[in-house]
Chain A
Amino acid sequence: MMLQKFKRDAKGFIFEGLTLASALIIIAILVVMLVVIIIGGKDMFTWEFLSTFPTDGMTKGGIFPAIFGTAMLVIIMSIAAVPFGTITAIYLTEYAKENSIIAKSIRFAVRTLAVIPSIIYGLFGLGFFIKFVGTGMDNVFLGGQLKWGQPNILWASLTMALLTLPVVIVSVEEALKTIPRELREASLALGATKWQTIRKVVLPGSFSGIMTGTILAVSRGAGEVAPILFTGAAYYLATLPGSLSDQFMVLGYHIYIMATQSANVDQTLPIQFGTTLVLLLLTFSLNFTAVILRYRIRKKRIA
């Protein structure tokens, strides 16, 4: 009897220990990754590094154009993705009937968009934006002169916008759902129309949710590289992009290029670590802000 109980307890102990170990291994890997990147990059993390152009064939100097390009990318991307995402979320929560085929198909489409590999977005950006829309614009407006039918920051940003659209939709939808039904009813009972209710009651109440969605989308967009590999990211540019039809440098692509295609990988290792640290800090601080905003929304819902 005693032995049996001991055996059972031991088994339980081992099993529970195994699950705990799994969790700890994951966390340990994460911590190691963070520590290695921080140690590797911390010496590079200076104002000079952040604010100057690469020099000496990208073996020295800073990463300012990549930071600038990333900022431009996420700004243009947000301008495209946030309104579309917000409106889709409004449709799903305010207009669509819960179990209608349309609503279900849209939800399915959104989830599919979220799992399509990012490289496919890159292909789509190339096939649709550059070859179809861009070349079409060139043919119609410029008489075939090549301007839009090639990779540039606009097409890259729009491609990224498609990729981040589901992030925005999901966050905004979650926020819209926290607006109590009673508030919508109160507004309607006062003789407000549906649109007035959405505009004056629902949207103001979900502002922080829209912010969360935007931030998460920006964080995602800043880190993705595959979609912009051939829709606009450039290896090296001596100037900042001046118009939407220019190519641009971007942090993630910079890391990839420096780590795999650079002439002397070892010599530029500090730059690579520095760039990685900057990118990681950027995405983490964005995610952290989003987590806090989201926490506040959830607290509001409970209250």
Chain B
Amino acid sequence: MKNIKIHTENMYLYYGSKMALNNISIDIPENKVTALIGPSGCGKSTFLRSLNRMNDLIDSVKIEGNILLDGINIYDKNIDVVSLRKKVGMVFQKSNPFAKSIYENIAYGPRINGINNKSELNDIVEKSLRNAAIWDEAKDRLHDSALGLSGGQQQRLCIARTLAVNPEIILMDEPASALDPISTSKIEELIVQLKENYTIVIVTHNMQQAARISDNTAFFYLGELIEYNKTKKIYTNPDKKQTEDYISGRFG
């Protein structure tokens, strides 16, 4: 197994007094795709959003336990959340490009980091769009509004936008759930390519998708991590009955 990128230890998360995550301990390896599966409301998205402290935006959330990124506890009080989020990028369920041009969408991240040099920005935009496999579709309309793109293109644009900040980890929250099958397969191809350079954690509803693209799979149920193992193992010979039931479609 490769290096451990993210390591959580006895992690609990509460919404007010309601416990949403119960004692999660998991190791997420570098340069792999880790899939989080489970029925709706099982806490997988909540867990994902804890990894770049997106849950900080919700007032009532309280987190206990440790989440270590490269051995550093990201909930430590000295952590610079803004830098953390540069390091841990995120792609959302609903594609959410800004109401700006395609170019400006990609350049947004670099710009807020102080890059204003035109040629440097051009390079980053092209590189990011190429890496997100949308360059060919977008190169002639870089200065058109990003809202004119199709849903699948928008989502790849959002991935490109995340890549432009040069993160080490990319969190994906059901990135293909709102897309048609062709767009979905494009996104899946893209994810498999990206893992060479990035560590990817993906939440998905779609079990076939998890099976196709992930190296490891974690099964969440009612806020608990039921089983975590190599994807192959989970899908062929799970240890727990609940996992088997879920995968075989008996509930969820």
Contacts and interface: CB of A to CB of B under 8 A. Distances in A.
Interface of A: 97-98, 180, 182-193, 196, 200-201, 204-205
A183 B105 CA distance: 11
Nearest to A204: B99
A189 B161 CA distance: 10
Given A98-B59, A180-B96, A182-B96, A190 B54 contact: no
B82 A193 contact: yes
Interface stretch (B21-29, B34-42, B87-95): B87-95
Contact of B85 (A180, A184, A189, A201): A189
B109 interface: yes
B150 interface: no
A190 B109 contact: yes
Contact of B90 (A189, A193, A204): A189
B125 to A, nearest CB: 14
Top 10 A-B pairs, shortest CB-CB distance: A191-B86, A182-B96, A189-B90, A190-B109, A186-B96, A192-B112, A191-B85, A97-B59, A196-B112, A190-B165
B96 A183 contact: yes
Given A185-B54, A186-B98, A191 B92 contact: no
A196 B112 CA distance: 7
B231 interface: no
Contact of B96 (A98, A185, A191, A193): A185
B185 to A, nearest CB: 24
B122 interface: no
A36 B113 CA distance: 62
A85 to B, nearest CB: 23
B31 interface: no
A180 B165 CA distance: 22
A196 to B, nearest CB: 5
B89 A190 contact: yes
Given A185-B92, A185-B96, A190 B161 contact: yes
B83 interface: yes
Contacts of A204: 99
A109 B202 CA distance: 46
B57 interface: yes
Given A182-B92, A200-B108, 6 more contacts: A188-B85, A189-B52, A190-B85, A190-B86, A190-B162, A191-B109
B112 A191 contact: yes
Contact of A190 (B94, B99, B108): B108
A32 to B, nearest CB: 45
B121 interface: no
B158 interface: yes
B56 to A, nearest CB: 9
Interface residues on B, range: 20 to 34
Contacts of B52: 189
Given A182-B96, A193-B82, A188 B54 contact: yes
A218 B97 CA distance: 34
A236 B108 CA distance: 55
B149 to A, nearest CB: 15
Contacts of B113: 191
B111 to A, nearest CB: 8
Most chain A beta-carbon contacts within 10 A, residue among B94, B112, B161, B162: B112
Contacts of B85: 188-191
A191 B108 contact: no
Given A97-B59, A98-B59, A196-B112, A191 B82 contact: yes
A191 B167 CA distance: 10
Interface in B10-63: 52, 54, 57, 59
Most chain B beta-carbon contacts within 10 A, residue among A188, A191, A193: A191
Given A97-B59, A191-B83, A186 B112 contact: no
A27 to B, nearest CB: 39
Most chain B beta-carbon contacts within 10 A, residue among A98, A182, A201: A182
Nearest to A197: B112
B159 to A, nearest CB: 12
Nearest to B94: A182
A42 B97 CA distance: 51
Given A187-B108, A190-B108, A201 B94 contact: no
A186 B92 contact: yes
Contacts of A180: 96
28 contacts: A98-B59, A180-B96, A182-B92, A185-B54, A185-B57, A185-B96, A186-B92, A186-B98, A186-B161, A187-B98, A187-B108, A188-B57, A189-B54, A189-B85, A189-B90, A189-B92, A189-B162, A190-B85, A190-B86, A190-B89, A191-B85, A191-B112, A192-B109, A193-B82, A193-B112, A200-B108, A200-B112, A201-B98
Contacts of A190: 85-86, 89, 108-109, 112, 161-162, 165
A199 to B, nearest CB: 10
Interface string B108-120: 1100110000000
